[in-house]
Amino acid sequence: MNDVETTTPGGARTVHAAGVSIKDLRKAYGSNEVLKGINLDVQPGEVVCLIGPSGSGKSTLLRCVNLLEQPNQGTIHVGGFEATDPDVDIDKMRRKVGMVFQQFNLFPHLDVLRNCTVAQTKVLKRSQEESDKIAQANLERVGLGHLAKRFPDQLSGGQQQRVAIARALSMNPELMLFDEPTSALDPETVGDVLAVMRKLAREGMTMLVVTHEMAFAREVADRVVFMDGGVVVEEGVAEQVIGNPQQPRTQEFLRRVLDPTHIEVEED
């Protein structure tokens, strides 16, 4: 994939964005085949949401992109790197790929600012001063500049997740991966995290997002990919896949997710 420079509508911020190209990706745990030949391209600056029932393999697919899971077969290209090349410099590749986890995974022994600077100083060899400046700017970007000196356990879930986003952004990634970023959050803090992600999308960041937030996917995603049973069942423009799904399995899934009476049953 080629890297391109994309600009915001206002032209204010420039993001160096990378694309992703996944070909015939297979992953199995023992005899349990989780990904059964996935093909997926994400253009630089594109926002793609992965949706589907739990166990459909969408998180595994996402985790394969930065090699938190080792694929068994197929190729993945990220920016200028071939992730599936056995000789790839994983650490160098991962610097360009920001990852946001469902459980935030902030470093509890470091304050918010240090969470955002530790990889800058240790991996990118930036000076502490420069790292602080970049971290502070990214904390402002997610609306938490005033909490820099707090520790993670003093923050709400939504605030922790926004710090996690700022931490990833501080590495100047060209691609951001989100693994169910709002699934562990109290409902009232979900909106803040989604707002940050929406802003990021507008700024031209390439984003691959595993999510259950259909409204968000519909509004923000350029493309939505529906997965079930380890395969891509349907993909296309967000409005079409969510608003007017063609495949029966997609229709069934969306009916269950969007039907409020069904949600009540599931919450029991």
List helix spans (H) across the chain: 58-65, 90-94, 112-122, 128-141, 157-169, 187-202, 214-220, 238-243, 248-258, 260-267
Nearer to another protein, 124 or 231 (CB): 124
Nearer to another protein, 141 or 167 (CB): 167
Q: CA-CA distance, 268 to 263, in Å (whole number)? A: 9
Token pair for 228: 């079930």
Provide, rounded to whole angstroms, the least separation between the CB of residue 226 and another protein: 26
Provide, rounded to whole angstroms, the least separation between the CB of residue 29 and another protein: 16
213 within 8 A of 197, measured Cβ to Cβ = no
Provide, rounded to whole angstroms, the least separation between the CB of residue 70 and another protein: 13
Nearer to another protein, 109 or 267 (CB): 109
Provide, rounded to whole angstroms, the least separation between the CB of residue 106 and another protein: 8
Q: Which residues bind another protein (CB under 8 A)?
A: 66, 68, 91-92, 94-95, 97-99, 101, 103, 105-109, 118-119, 122-124, 153, 164, 167-168, 171
Nearer to another protein, 108 or 248 (CB): 108
- What stretch of H or E contains 233? strand 231-237
Q: CA-CA distance, 129 to 16, in Å (whole number)? A: 23
Nearer to another protein, 123 or 258 (CB): 123
Q: CA-CA distance, 222 to 237, in Å (whole number)? A: 6
Provide, rounded to whole angstroms, the least separation between the CB of residue 116 and another protein: 10
Please name which of 119, 74, 72, 73 lies closest in space to residue 92, comparing C-alpha atoms: 119
Nearer to another protein, 82 or 235 (CB): 82
Provide, rounded to whole angstroms, the least separation between the CB of residue 90 and another protein: 8
